[in-house]
Structure 1
Amino acid sequence: MCKARGVVGKSDRFLQTLDHLRDVIVVHLLQRLDAGQMGRVVDGEWTEDDEDLFRNDGFVRLASRYSESIPDDVVEAMTGEPRRLFLIASLSCPWSHRALIMHRIKALEAVVPVKVASGRRNEGYPVNDNRAWRLPGTGRDVTYVHEVYTASGEGYTGSASVPLLWDSANRRVVSNDSLQIMKAFDRVDSCLSGCDITLYPEDLRPEIDEFNARIFLGLANGVYRAGLARSQRHYDDAVAGVFETLDQLEARLARGRLLFGRRLTLSDLVLFPVLARFDVVYHTHFRCTRRRLADYPMLWAYARDLIGLEPFASDVDFAAIQSGYFLNDGDHNPHGIISERPDCDWSAPHERNAFGALLVSLRAGGVAEFAPPARPANDSQQVTS
């Protein structure tokens, strides 16, 4: 009996050892997959080496390779040559979201098609749920966004980021800078959106540029610096900046309906995607836990005000946001567990209209009441072929 018990005991320990080894292997593989999501392209080849993104254990965002102002002839082609330009964007990405909002405000769905990058990020963003997609203007099938970059330049080195604007006539990436893409959409000279409006009026441009830089440094990039920090010092520094910026925004929005009084500007489009993601991923996954968006009365009401507008609401996909971050961004969730979504009522009354009606600048000068275009019937804002 004793001998039999000894055999059983050894067998149990052996099975436990196998179970442990299995768990270690699974965790290692998941960590490798997650580590690869911060990869990049070097000399036209995808690599999971991400050391350029981390300096002294702090996250450093790579500069966009295609960050110049988009030429006038490309802007004119958006309406003059429909379906020549394509916007590739992700519903989880805040930088993509801001471009998508501008795209909708200018009602460009029919002339600049959108390709939503979605699927498991085995080699960065996939373009078609990990299935091949014929890149417009080429005979090339691509599966990942990095292949779009190498189609533009075979020896490309840099990040394979979204959003990006693809020119099918010249078979090249025009821009992967979200602000430049937004400004180009803003410059489109058409009445597709009902009236020729601008969210980047000349009288506010210096202030808008300065404000956008502050949002980037303290908040939009600050949450990434916190969530991807590899040392306590870098995390503490980033989190301090995040909440200092939120405190400043809270005070500013106590004085007006939008960031620049009642006028809708690019800055509102830059800020909203960050706020939409704050409680669902930045507060949790990126460990910005001091306060929630819902703990800021003015910011929370401001965000609910904007999500009540069709161009802002159309591409808010909380499921895509959570899966995009929890399964891909950072290496501190090796088991791929997606946290429960906060119980927040985005439709609750906000009372921001007490400041007065929303306004928008006109390209010809002056302002008008903002009347956002309705979402076209049966529009998914995505090209499927």
Structure 2
Amino acid sequence: MTTNQFNDNFLKATRGEKVSHVPVWYMRQAGRSQPEYLAIKEKYSLFEITHQPELCAYVTKLPVDQYNNDAAILYKDIMTPLPAIGVDVEIKAGIGPVIANPIRTIQDVEKLGTINPEADVPYVLDTIKLLREQLSVPLISFGGAPFTLASYMIEGGPSKNYNKTKAFMYSQPESWFLLMDKLADMTITYCKSQIKAGSQAIQIFDSWVGALNVQDYRTFIKPVMHKIFTALKEENVPLIMFGVGASHLANEWHDLPLDVVGLDWRLSINEARERGIKKAVQGNLDPAILLAPWDVIEARAKEILDQGLAHEGGFVFNLGHGVFPQVSPDTLRKLTAFVHEYTAK
């Protein structure tokens, strides 16, 4: 462990405990807009960076060093474990994950294997161990939720409407639930291995599940999410749920055995609390605001902080989605300092 005093404000906030200031970290804070990262990306792809523990640890730690954030999030992608189970995935610049062998039938699902993290993704675990020696803030790891992973695996890549995914779900329910179960088992094993290696919190990204209505979520998704969070709860680390455009599902997430409900910018903290969400919440500045003048950023951040502090339950300041590549590192540094100073007790 680093000799610096350990800053545990993030962990305290996830448990609803008193903090010396509201903790702040940003989704996609590692990389994206930092000059040092952009120079590395000229030489290496995302997967190539993640396969080099020392380099990956450097990229993960960079925003903590530059912005004074209260948590680090491991630099990797939700696609990272998929090759281990037989998914031929490539992350293409300007497109995103592209799957060469999309799922079409129950036979395709049955062919999927299982993950052995120590053998299949040792570089992820080695990076975590390195970071625990280097960081003086908590390390967050993550996994992709079954719906979002399945959407790439069925569509063959990113989608705007998830028509193929939904059609598969509605027309082949037996295949769908088998796929959900296999992806849940993978996610549980993968996340538990990250915790064992030293990760101190887990965020599950169900980035695109907002494409479903509440009824379909309850039928096709909620049981598998309950399975995942119940299994991870045994590890006694904070568990965070997040998706984009999924405000209508926030109460469904609140029902699950998790600790923190992540909010995007479409649902205010006040409204979430009025809906009965009593667990800790995380969010939720619109990342586009970071491209506005500073007085606009400060005013919007202050509004979110006031709402977060006005209610019982923990609060972690974050964006409502990831940092854009166009955002200035100076803006993130200034925003972190503002959050700390405005909420210091």
Asked if Structure 1 and Structure 2 have the same fold, meaning a TM-score greater than 0.5 normalized by the shorter chain, the answer is no
The structure, 1 or 2, with the larger RCO (C-alpha pairs under 8 Å, 6+ apart) is 2
Structure of larger gyration radius: 1
| TM norm structure 1 | 0.28
Structure with the higher fraction of residues in helix conformation: 2
| TM norm structure 2 | 0.30
